[in-house]
Amino acid sequence: MKRITALMSILSLLMFCPAATAEQEYDSLYTLTAPYGFKLGAPLSYFQMRDQNYLNLLKTHFNSMTTTNEMKAYSLLDEWGSHRAADGMPVMNYKMADEMVGWAQQNGIGVRGHVLVWDAYMLDWYFHEDYDTKKPYADPETIQKRTEYYITQVVTHFEEKFPGVVYCWDVVNEAVGDNNGEYAPGDTRHLRTKRNGGDNLFQKYMGNDYVAQAFLYAKNAVDALGADIKLYYNDYNAFFSDKAAAIRALAESVNTYAQDETGAPRKLLDGIGMQGYIGGYGTQSGCLQDSHLGMIKTAIQGYAAMGLEVQITEMAVRNFDPAQADRHAAYYGKLFQLFTSLYSADSNANPLKAVSIWGLTDYPNEPKGTYTYNLNSPYGGLVDEKLNYKDAFKTVYQLLKQD
């Protein structure tokens, strides 16, 4: 109650305070979340590498960064290079990703590797014999070998070229289906077989254990490097109870898939990435609901009870109505109040290890109904479209600063 009263006082003060515009008037946000045991992250696209103002915002307030697309397989895989490879293994082009991870290294920012295996938008040619779509799909053993090679090479490349910068990897993304028909009946993992009516090519051509296999390949690569890289499973709607139960079942199957040298289960999966899109998709209905706060806390605690870390990996606090700016700011404050409350002073630990804000900026000019409009919302940012601090930013800042 004390913190809620303080939060309302902060909001009241903000209504009468002139807007601050200079970044140096604020401490770095990530220095304020650090005492609570979690990093603060933001997204970066290759296009934004040319936006110095955005880069300045990132390096001022964030100590974690996620490339939006450039570290995904469909961005790294080189089709013609793979065709010509004498050993039949896939070839990668790291040019764009290297530039981005290199920038992060230069500015002391850790990188979330996103993502090694994801069925959505995956390149069809990867699954064919000789990478030739005119030939049949390859057998599971071939796809498994390609995937093991791909994961090993990618994890090794970034660790050897940028030691310690990539501190975790989303090994597999969105492998849990949502609705009947997207997974096999009776499968408690709800392992996705279909997406939007199309096949999950990894499941179809690599096998029903492709998630556990991917984690095994990644774990072997990390262990061979002697690196401190955490391995995550990442998904949306991960704070809804049915989806969370399926994710927990999937995580258990991964962590009982292999054995160590003593015959005990080998822990392959370290944590769960909760994407954190909060509110209605493309509509104000369902946005800024207090009920979601309890669901998020319950989900985090459920994953933590399994001995897993948690990160909020792609958070967007959706708001489609500019008249709801005050409610949006207050809701952001409630979220961070929740995040900080998970920290235990007795154990000096928090099951929540990072919060990455995907919907960082407003998009007021985005046409209604586009992917960006629906996913991140036009008025859901901590900063506006010109990167000025909004009341949402100031509420979060004052909440963190006062404790």
Helix (H/G/I), strand (E/B), else coil: 373: helix
Q: Which domain holds residue 83?
A: 2-402
pTM: 0.93
Please, which residues have CB within 8 angstroms of residue 227's CB and are 6 or more apart in sequence? Answer: 159, 163, 164
Query: Which residues on adjacent β-strands are paired with residue 191?
Result: 176
Q: The tokens 């209905």 sit on which residue?
A: 285
Q: What pLDDT does residue 403 have?
A: 55
Q: Are 330 and 293 in contact (CB under 8 A)?
A: no
Q: What is the DSSP string of 288-301?
A: T-HHHHHHHHHHHH
Per-residue pLDDT at 27 exceeds 70: yes
What does the pLDDT look like over 86-144, one tens digit per residue? 999 999 999 999 999 999 999 999 999 999 999 999 999 999 999 999 999 999 999 99
Pairing of strands 194-195, 166-173: unpaired
Widest pairwise Cα distance in the chain: 68
CA distance linking residue 360 with residue 41, whole number of Å = 10
Residue-wise DSSP of 216-272: HHHHHHHHHHT---EEEEEESSTTSHHHHHHHHHHHHHHTTSSB-TTSSBP----EE
- Cα(339)–Cα(252) distance, integer angstroms: 25
319-352 pLDDT, tens digit per residue, is 999 999 999 999 999 999 999 999 999 999 999 9
Nearest to 72 by CA among 109, 131, 107, 120: 120
What is the tally of structural domains in the chain?
A: 1
The CATH number of whichever domain residue 57 belongs to comes to 3.20.20.80
Please state, rounded to an integer, the average pLDDT across all residues of the chain.
94
